[in-house]
Structure formats: C-alpha cells, structure tokens
Structure 1
C-alpha cells in the first residue's frame, strides 16, 4: 500500500537551471537514532560519497515517498535528478542541490531527455489505489504504459539499474483491476533486461503519509469512522524513513538485484487497531462502525461522481488479503530494525 504520486500532467521537457551544490553529509531529513539503522545508514553514505553512482534519477520526486527519498539521497551527497511533471512545484519542494527535470510518464520524449546520463532510476511514480481515475483506464495507462515508457527510455539511455517501489502483495489480479496495473509495472521492470530490484512495503506512516492523514481528517469531519470489512485485515505499517533507507541501499548495492521483497514494520496490526492508534495520535474519539465490503463497493461506486471521493473501488481491492509479511523482513534483508508505528505515534504524533 505504499503511497506514490500520480504521474500524468503537462508535457514538455524542462531542465531546472539552478546550479547543483553538494548536499550536506549525513542522513538528511531521514533521521533515526537507532544503532542498527545508523550502521546501515553510514554504509550507504560512504558508498554514495565514493561516487560509484554518478546520477540517481527519482521518478515521482514530489510525491510522498519521492520527497523523503530525494532528501535522504541528496543529504548523503548523491547527485540526484528529480523527475516531476511540474518543475515549479519540484523547485519549491526539493532541495537546491537537486537537479530538476520536467518529465511525464506518458510523454516518451520527456523521459528520453530525463534519462540522459543517469546510472540508476528509482521509480516512485504511480497512481495509487486511493486516487479516483480521471478517465476509464487511467490506472492501466499511467501505471502500466507509463512504466513501460520509463523502462524503454532507461534502456535507450544506458541506465544500469531500475529500483521499482511497488506495494506488498502485488499480484496479477483480474483484467481491469487496480492490482493488475501494479503487476504490469513489475512485469515491465522484470523484463527490462536491466538490473532491477523491487521493495514492496505495507502501508506507510510518517510525516505527510496519506493514509493516516485521511483517517485523521475523517475523524475531524465525521461523527463516526467507518471500518471497511471485518476490521481484522492485517497491516504491517512501515515508517517512510525506514523505507527510504531500504531504497537507498538498493540503489547502491547489487545484493538484492533480481528480487521483489515484501517489507513491513515490526508489528502486524488489525485494521481496527491501526485506526485506533491514528485516532489516539490525532486526539480524537470516534466510534468505529463496520461497513461490509459488498456495501462499501456499492458506496464507492456511487461516490465516483464526486471530484474527490473519500472512497474509490480500487482501495477496496487492498482489503481482499492481509497486507503483511514476516515480522523480521527488514532486519533479515537489510540488517536494521524498523521503527514501530505505535512507538512513533506516541513519541512524535502524526507529523513526525
């Protein structure tokens, strides 16, 4: 359920003219004081500063994960190129040390420009399941066709590696389903002929995370909080900064190449408990009302006429299975212990 920015918008290549200055050393905005994470972070920093990777392009650089990742990579001294549909927005959101190139997944000519001189591309751009389709087939066009366009441009430009951020539980799905479009992203990268790796996290929390923010907003505006399905669907929330550390390590090391890796935090929580923790952090008390999935599907269909519906059918696909994996997935693969959502919210609230 990783959240990533939509990837359609104005076409036309544009390269920011602001000069790239060396970024500060250290972990940037992704701070973590745990010894195990610090050790892994320092290893990644030494590798980046050795300039074994010349240019790292981040597609979806102004999205939730993209912004955090760009800050980490730039803070470690990497040469980062942020790909964005809106260059002005990117200049406002990203560090001055980041080179910005306007690019659109559905405009191959812009991707050809953006991929020039790139060694590794991190693909964080997709329409996520909480966004309404602007037109029928938009999920498939942006996620599937857009990823194929990015892969083709990377291959033509001689990019060495693609790091694909996908979601835990990515599977083929039925024709026309949202999950099918995420599977098409994975298939495009796997068949690229390039080195590739694909971290697949459960839901994310941290500063700016859309899912907790949506629950908190609902609690402010509604007397009740609806619980989709039984409320027992298992989630394994992962801190966005821990995910960014995993992504940075994937950029630098070939250790995990050729693998799609399901990742989650140190706790498996039922959906109702995740909602309860968010309400507690938001200082809101609201009754939780179960909504059976068949009824939720009818409601989501009816809400599709709204410009920004609170529920879309694609979201409900994610409640068909437990969004969880091994409790030690991050520790076992990347060698550090991820932060607990429960502890993080108690210490930092929703904005930490």
Structure 2
C-alpha cells in the first residue's frame, strides 16, 4: 500500500484530500498540530504526525515510507505572529526540503489561479514563490491552481442576506469556483497522470453579477446589486495596508485583486454552486430557529 502525506489536512480542502486518498486505498498520513483534536474531528487519516511545518526540526521522520506529498498548506488570515511568507512559502519549503532529503518521489501543491498576475499581493506572491521553487526542484511535481472554492463565495451570500451586493466595475468579469470534493478528485487525477500544472474550476462559469443574482435567488429575495466605480477597488488596495492590521488587509488584498480579473479555469466537477448556495441558505435559516427552540425549552 502506498503512503501519502497530506499537509493542511485539517483545512477545508485538506480534509477532502484525506478522504479521497483514503477512499482510493492509500495509507494516509496527516500532518497536524494536535493529533487528539484531529481524531476527535473524525479526520479519516490512518496515522497522524504531530509537527509544525514552520519548524523544520519538528518534521524529522515525517517522510519515512512516504510515496507522495500533497500540500494544501496555507493561511487566509494571519495569526500567531505568522504571515504568508512564513507558512505559504517557508513551511511548504520545509516540507519540500524534508521530502528531497528522504527521496520522496512526488510532491503536489495546491496553488491559486493567476497568482503570477498578483505580485504585490502577499498571499499570492508567497504561493507563487514556492510554486517556482517546487517546479525547479529535482522531484516529480504537480501544481494545481483552482479558480476559487465554493466556501470562498460566502461573502456574496452574506452581502445578499444583508440586503445588497456591492460590486466593482460593470460586473462582467467571470469566475467558476469549484467544490472541495470535486477539487480533491481533480487533484488525485492530475497527480496520477503526472501533470505538471493544472488550472481547474467548477462546472459553471458566472459573471460577478450572475453570482450575486444566484445568492439572492438562494435566499428567495429580489436582487439588489450596486456597481461601484472600479477606481474605488484600486484605491482600497493601496490604502488598506496603511490603515488595517495584516490579518485584515492580507485576505482583503487578495479578494479585491481577484475581483479585478477573470478567474476562470477549465471547468471540472459535477457539484453546482447554486445548489451550494441553497444548502447554505437553508442551514442559516435553520440555525436561528434551533437556537430559539433551545432558549424556550
């Protein structure tokens, strides 16, 4: 039985990767910070290696018997004093260094689409720097660049729930986010096929306006969309680093930069974003009702 090490295993995508490889008959080793918490969360890995990817000394022994590393390791909101260059770049480089030292034959990395077009966005720049190091390393590599996750689209649903979606420009730029389980399947297929760089998106391509309309439709409300001049988006990108802390402006810079370009990739998968919005809307409506019932019981 082959062994895969999954880094970022407890994250949204990482869990789907663990589930996919376990279902495919691999022995799955998960890099985690706390094995007890990972087991309590029912992460379906076969064994857990406790370590900090930012601390190379804590990784000694992690690659024993490993045939493949799949890393979705990265941060969206900076915390614990760590930034994108500490995690998205250096922590992944620590894993790559350990893999090379132990003769691991293959390493796969989950990147982001169009990172090379966002050199002034720290999140994208750190990921791009590692992707370039991986491509140049003497190891068989696969880099997967998704156009975005369904889970990232929650901001549109939140704005619609608040009553209005705010967009920059004319709303015609396009995107096709992909479900986590569909992406995990595409990742496994790309690795098995030894593909080097794989941009991937979901089956449905939306304009930003169409995405906002889908959010309102899931809530059963008429669409109320306001288009702001795009110069406001550009001004916000320049201003935010000066007036907000890193854990705020870090993800905001990426979000605002991505909104200024087409974020489409070859469509794959079967799960539909409209169905995801419907499911999220139903769960959000059920939660207050459950809380009300509990408070009156």
Among candidates 315, 324, 332, match of residue 264 of structure 2? 324
Partner of 1:264: 201
Secondary structure (helix, strand or coil) at the match of 2:198 reads strand
Contact preservation (8 Å) 2:119, 2:125: yes
Structure 1 residues 309 and 192 mapped into 2: Cα distance closer, same or farther (>3 Å)?
closer
Question: What's the C-alpha RMSD, in Å, of the aligned pairs?
Answer: 3.0
Cross-structure match for 2:185: 245
1:122 aligns with 2:51: no
In structure 1, the partner of 2:212 is: 275
Is 2:68 the counterpart of 1:103?
no
Deviation at residue 234 of structure 1 after TM alignment: 0.9
Closer, same or farther: CA 278–310 of 1 in aligned 2, 3 Å: farther
Paired position in structure 2 for 1:15: none
Equivalent pair of 2:17/2:184 in contact (CA under 8 Å): yes
1:90 aligns with 38
Report the equivalent of 1:181. Answer: 126
Instruction: Give the one of 250, 253, 257 matched to 1:313.
Output: 253
CA distance in 1 between partners of 2:282 and 2:61 (Å): 36
Could you tell me which residue of structure 2 aligns to residue 234 of structure 1? 174
Are the equivalent residues in 2 in contact too, given 1:197–1:250 (CA < 8 A)?
yes
Residues 1:341 and 2:252 are matched in the alignment: no
Please tell me whether the aligned partners of residues 112 and 157 of structure 1 are also in contact (alpha carbons under 8 angstroms).
Answer: no
* Aligned twin of 1:28: none
- Written as runs of structure 1 = structure 2, the 5 A alignment for 1:1-352 is 51=1, 54-95=2-43, 97-128=45-76, 131-132=77-78, 138-171=83-116, 173-174=118-119, 177-205=122-150, 209=151, 211-220=152-161, 222-251=162-191, 253=192, 255-257=193-195, 259-283=196-220, 287-291=224-228, 292=230, 293-297=233-237, 300-301=240-241, 304-305=244-245, 312-327=252-267, 330=268, 338-342=270-274, 344-345=275-276, 348=279
- Is the helix fraction higher in 1 or 2? 2
After superposing on structure 2, the runs of 4+ consecutive aligned residues of structure 1 that deviate more than 6 Å are none
Cα distance change on mapping 1:140 and 1:116 into 2, 3 Å: same
Structure 1: which 5+ runs fail to align? 1-50, 331-336
8 Å contact 2:160–2:212 — kept in the other structure? no
Contact in 2 for aligned 1:143/1:184 (Cα 8 Å): no
The answer to whether the 8 Å contact 2:8/2:71 transfers is yes
Q: Give the Cα–Cα distance (whole angstroms) in 2 for the partners of residues 74 and 351 of structure 1.
A: 30
Q: Give the TM-score normalised by structure 2.
A: 0.81
Point out where structure 2 has 5 or more consecutive residues left out of the alignment.
Answer: 284-297
- CA distance in 2 between partners of 1:65 and 1:147 (Å): 16
- Matched residue SS, 2:116: coil
Structure 1 residue matching 2:259: 3-state secondary structure: coil
For the 8 Å contact 1:132–1:304, the answer to whether it is kept is: no
Shift of 1:166: 1.0
- Check conservation: 1:133, 1:139, Cα contact below 8 A: no
Q: Structure 1 residues 349, 217: closer, same or farther in 2, change over 3 A?
A: closer
CA–CA separation in structure 1 for the residues paired with 2:58 and 2:281? 36
